[in-house]
Amino acid sequence: MEKSNISGNLLPEDLHMLRFGKRFDEVVYLDDYVCPICHSRIDEFGYCACDAHGD
């Protein structure tokens, strides 16, 4: 349990798993819904790259 080293050797997909609960390639994005701040697609949970949730 090395919580303090969580960003050390993890793959991007692992970080995504920690953050979103699943791998990035399993995320379903809403193609017609883009965050007005970071212009990233927002997934079905309302999360984008900047966590503004498009709101």
Closer to Zn ion by CB, 27 or 52: give it: 52
CB of 5 to Zn ion, least distance (A): 27
* Torsion 37-49-53-4 (CA) sign: negative
Question: Which residue is closest to Zn ion by CB?
Answer: 35
CB of 42 to Zn ion, least distance (A): 7
Q: Which residues bind Zn ion (CB under 5 A)?
A: 35, 37-38, 48, 50, 52
